[in-house]
Amino acid sequence: MLSTPPSAVQNSGLQYLTSSTTSQAGLSPNQQLLPLTATVNSNDCLEIGGCDLTKLVEQFGSPLYILDEVTLRTACRQYREALARYYQGESLVLYASKAWSCLAVCAIASSEGLGIDVVSGGELYTALEAGVDANQIYFHGNNKSTDELELALKCGCTIVVDNWLELRTLVALGAQQQSQNQGIRIMIRLTPGIECHTHEYIRTGHLDSKFGFDPHELEEVFAFISQNQTLNCIGLHAHIGSQIFEIQPHKDLAAVLVDCLIKAHRYDLPIQELNVGGGLGICYTQSDDPPSIEAWVQNVCQAMVDACKQQQIPLPKLLCEPGRSLVGSACVTAYTIGSSKVIPQMRTYLAVDGGMSDNPRPITYQSVYRAVVANRMSAPLTETLTIAGKHCESGDILLQQAQLPKTEPGDILVVMSTGAYNYSMASNYNRLPRPATVLVNEGEVQMIARRETYQDLIRLDILPTGLAPARD
């Protein structure tokens, strides 16, 4: 890493680098703004995974998602190893692939011993194509189609049942397919009634939620399952929300799930698994202070052990479903800086070649990010700027009051912590092609998603007869 005096660090992009870049051991990825391998080279340029980001943009263009393999694998291992350390029963970490569903990310998570949580037929298909064992896939969703359920039955994954329609549809499908030897493997999702401090759009555990069975329904649900041999209920699931910094709601959830397990046992259901969901937050700004992965796991495990001791029951198989805290801090997005507009006594807009089509979270959730200029890492932060996207929307603003050095068109702006819900929520708004993604590790770079072309944008379009343009 470039040697820089401490006073300069506070006035440059270097302030966002971890203080222990020479030793990644013990760092929790979700507590870092940049990937664990981030350093600055002798040309004052940001490197991740041993790759100079300015050269990556030269080679692959921008906007460009850059995923650090070391950071992603480290987060996977920290979850898996912490569960093994703090929980004496069987356990399994599932990657919540809605955070970023693509072949490479699913394959990396699977290679680290994780299962995959999917929420659509498309995510299920992606996980299967990535080589994930169907026995390690759990299929969520509050309105699964019949086609999606049939795909799930065909591959043999576990279906996390969300409502009565789905429950009855599965019984009907099971009867049609005569798959009653061992029954359709399901879990029941319940709404635990636990509030947490996060954006209202990503709260899922409170009673006013579109997800899961309400507590008063559970006795009826368990009775229904016990009367239908087509269904093999192996577990219970609950999730309280996303980007959560509090520990107590997760501890409360363990007790709620164990209480529901006791009710299920009255109906002789073979429930062996309890899934506490995910939701651990990450750093998007320097003021964010989420618990570490290890601290989160330790508290969840202890809460589950305590709840089982109180009820005098054996430890169930414990599942959790991290998404954002696995992949969020492992990725950055690189943009090329373009035009600027100065409004005296008000603000200065600095435009980049992407925006809400590659990162819709600021306009959707008012999410806050931090950025650096990758080719000016030690330059003093002398400018306060509003970073605007290139879309035809006044609300297409990536960052408010960004502290940056003086920039020029062609400089490379890097936005941090963009691994979760950026690629997965990307769109073709204004007919912008979606960005490419590269995977970096020890100086090697591999493309894992190619940049869309204009031809890709019209690939599914059909011109009605008589409207086709005349060609010379």
pLDDT digits (tens, 9 = 90+) for 81-95: 999 999 999 999 999
pLDDT of 15 reads 85
Closest listed residue to residue 131, CA positions, set 99, 151, 109: 109
pLDDT of 14 reads 87
Domain boundary among the residues 322, 343, 361 is at: 322
Cis (ω within 30 of 0) for the bond into 322? no
Average pLDDT over residues 306-313: 96
Answer whether residue 97 is part of any domain. no
Tell me the two tokens of residue 270: 């073979």
Kindly indicate the confidence band of residue 175, based on its pLDDT and cuts at 50, 70 and 90: confident
Whether 17 has a pLDDT exceeding 70, the answer reads: yes
Which percentage of the chain shows pLDDT scores above 70? 92
Answer whether residue 93 is part of any domain. no
Domain boundary among the residues 276, 304, 322 is at: 322
Alpha-carbon distance of 149 to 165, in angstroms, equals 12
Report the domain count for the chain: 2
Average pLDDT over residues 231-251: 92
- Residues 192 and 233 grouped into a single domain: yes
**Span of 44-58, 187-201, 301-315, 338-352 with lowest mean pLDDT:** 187-201
Average pLDDT over residues 274-281: 96
DSSP string, 112-148: TT-EEEE-SHHHHHHHHHTT--GGGEEE--SS--HHH
Tell me the two tokens of residue 211: 């997800």
* Cα 207–Cα 97–Cα 364 angle in degrees, nearest 5: 60
Answer whether residue 393 is part of any domain. yes
**Which of the following is catalytic: 45, 283, 320, 392?**
392
Answer whether residue 383 is part of any domain. yes
**CATH number of the domain that residue 150 is part of:** 3.20.20.10
Kindly indicate the confidence band of residue 426, based on its pLDDT and cuts at 50, 70 and 90: very high
Average pLDDT over residues 204-224: 81
Closest listed residue to residue 243, CA positions, set 282, 277, 205: 282
Answer whether residue 98 is part of any domain. no
Do residues 284 and 331 make contact, with C-beta atoms less than 8 angstroms apart? no
Classify residue 161 as exposed, middle or buried by CB count within 10 Å of its CB (0-12, 13-18, 19+): buried
pLDDT of 7 reads 37
Average pLDDT over residues 246-254: 91
pLDDT of 18 reads 65
Do residues 228 and 269 make contact, with C-beta atoms less than 8 angstroms apart? no
Task: Convert the pLDDT of each residue in 414-424 to its tens digit.
Answer: 999 999 999 99
- Residues 209 and 301 grouped into a single domain: yes
- Residues 354 and 245 grouped into a single domain: no
Average pLDDT over residues 173-189: 81
Average pLDDT, the chain: 92
- Residues 170 and 312 grouped into a single domain: yes
- Residues 355 and 427 grouped into a single domain: yes
Answer whether residue 60 is part of any domain. yes
Task: Convert the pLDDT of each residue in 114-145 to its tens digit.
Answer: 999 999 999 999 999 999 999 999 999 999 99
Rg over alpha carbons for the chain, rounded to the nearest Å, is 24
pLDDT of 208 reads 65
Whether 400 has a pLDDT exceeding 70, the answer reads: yes
pLDDT of 424 reads 97
- Residues 335 and 250 grouped into a single domain: no
Domain boundary among the residues 289, 322, 355 is at: 322
Alpha-carbon distance of 393 to 355, in angstroms, equals 10
- For residues 336 and 465, the model is more confident at 336
Q: Look up 392 and say whether it is catalytic.
A: yes
The range of the structural domain enclosing residue 302 comes to 140-322
pTM: 0.93
How close are the terminal C-alpha atoms of the chain, in Å? 58
- Residues 395 and 350 grouped into a single domain: yes
Whether 25 has a pLDDT exceeding 90, the answer reads: no
- Residues 346 and 314 grouped into a single domain: no
Which percentage of the chain shows pLDDT scores above 90? 84
pLDDT of 198 reads 44
**CATH number of the domain that residue 418 is part of:** 2.40.37.10
Kindly indicate the confidence band of residue 169, based on its pLDDT and cuts at 50, 70 and 90: very high
Kindly indicate the confidence band of residue 470, based on its pLDDT and cuts at 50, 70 and 90: confident
- Residues 300 and 337 grouped into a single domain: no
- Residues 297 and 445 grouped into a single domain: no
pLDDT of 11 reads 63
DSSP string, 48-63: ETTEEHHHHHHHH-SS
Kindly indicate the confidence band of residue 195, based on its pLDDT and cuts at 50, 70 and 90: low
- Residues 277 and 295 grouped into a single domain: yes
Say how many residues make up the chain: 472
Task: Convert the pLDDT of each residue in 35-66 to its tens digit.
Answer: 999 999 999 999 999 999 999 999 999 999 99
- Residues 390 and 270 grouped into a single domain: no
**Span of 28-37, 182-191, 351-360, 448-457 with lowest mean pLDDT:** 182-191
Answer whether residue 470 is part of any domain. no
Answer whether residue 407 is part of any domain. yes
